[in-house]
Amino acid sequence: MPVRLELSDAAFETVFETFLQTKREVAADVSQDVAHIIDDVQSRGDTAVIACAEKFEGQILTQETLRISEEEARRAAAAAPAEVRKALAVAARRIEAYHQRQIPQDLEFEDRDGVALGHRWTPISTVGLYVPGGSAAYPSTVLMTAIPAKTAGVGRIVMTVPTAGGELHPAVAAAAELAGVTEIYRVGGAHAIAALALGTDAIPAVDKIVGPGNAYVTAAKRQLFGRVGIDMIAGPSEILVVADSRNDPAWIAADLLSQAEHDENAQAILITDDVDFADSVERAISGHLSRLGRATIASDAWRDYGAVILVDSLDAAPPIIDRIAPEHLELAVSDPGPLASAVRHAGAIFLGRYTPEAVGDYVAGPSHVLPTARSARFSSGLSVLDFMKRTSLVRCDARSLRAVGPAAAALAEAEGFGAHALSLNIRLNDDGPSES
């Protein structure tokens, strides 16, 4: 059964802190295995990638078949059901419209000392998108990663995706076609991350890798960060729903299960001020589980990592929310504004009774690649900014250097960097060439 906590209980703080520190990725540590995979890919390139594809994915590949041809991708996309293609088009349109509004502006100004300052935004040259496979297909992740990259102006967008039996899933292919991704490789896991980061003969290296994955993928991203940019270290999915008793318990139960069904380590949490409502939600969860295709996964996640937190008033919820820093936060109340304003740490907030988190997974607009495992305390969801770099601009003329240079030289001397001071003073003590 999920844990039940009451804020008024004298032992709440102790139990809650234990709950926060519970490790949800219970699989054995894979970092050593991943390190070996990375070393192998670095030394043997495509040969190692092909060997890993056979070992971990059951795929028999060659250097020539690592990449999915554009014709093969078109055939796979054409096989997607018309209803799915239509839904993907709706999602793509909304995602692009949202991310277009995120494009940052360059800045130029001159300060009171006459120094010209500013910054310029430029897109990353090449990006790798990791799209999960295995137990499910994720065409939505293709759109949620590729469209922000395309909107930012990334020139080369590469996708790796595990393929069941070597065949690209039609919905994934259709999403890639909509997003304009044509360079696709049929590999997944840590070996795909290593190939993208280090480069092989068949898979040229990228500058940044984004997208969620399993424990192996996450470990590979962690170990390769620095050689390549990464978006975030993602963990199992999570949702926190704040709900009052005026909700339909069946709705809230479905919302909690919408993330619990991702995998056995996912987490679903309910905060409510009504014990009878909490009981009704738990009964509704049991009812839904009897009909869901991924009931075993969802049931295990709810049993092992779920929680119901009872508070005297929902006004007490924001401090609890901030300590949890959930990936997804639903505020299923009549007036969610005040609660939302009081929350500082959440990956995405869904406001009101008619805004289930699932709308954000597919069609709302913001990327569904969000910070997990309490990292919303210091990081944000994927956006256009993740695919761009900001370069500072500084310009002094003789007059403005005379205004600010002595302070810079004094600081250089204080730090013991004589060449720094010299490069300033040699200009300050010499009229130098005239400026045209």
Catalytic residue numbers, as ranges:
327-328
Amino acid at 431: D
Q: What is the dihedral of CA 23, 306, 256, 272, to 10 degrees?
A: -120
Q: Return d(Cα 237, Cα 177) in angstroms, integer.
A: 27
Listed in sequence order, the DSSP H helices in 2-81 are 12-21, 31-44, 46-57, 70-78
Q: Return d(Cα 150, Cα 389) in angstroms, integer.
A: 14
| β-strand partners of 39 | none
Give the C-alpha distances (Å, rounded to integers) separating 288 from 172, 268, 291, 309, 357: 28, 15, 6, 21, 17
Number of residues in the chain: 436
| β-strand partners of 158 | 128, 183
What does DSSP assign to residue 311?
A: -
DSSP notation for 139-208: HHHHHHHHHHHHHHT-SEEEEE---GGGPPPHHHHHHHHHHT--EEES--HHHHHHHHHH--SSS---SE
**Type and span of the H or E element at 406:** helix 398-414
Q: Return d(Cα 86, Cα 267) in angstroms, integer.
A: 31
Q: Return d(Cα 55, Cα 50) in angstroms, integer.
A: 9
Q: Are 53 and 59 in contact (CB under 8 A)?
A: yes
Axis crossing angle, helix 82-100 with helix 139-152, rounded to the nearest 10: 30
What does DSSP assign to residue 245?
A: T
Phi, psi of 110 (to 5 degrees): -120, 125
CB atoms within 10 A of CB 155: 11
Give the C-alpha distances (Å, rounded to integers) separating 326 from 170, 267, 299, 363, 366: 32, 10, 20, 20, 16
Give the C-alpha distances (Å, rounded to integers) separating 366 from 55, 92, 164, 280, 395: 36, 11, 29, 32, 37
Q: Return d(Cα 267, Cα 48) in angstroms, integer.
A: 35
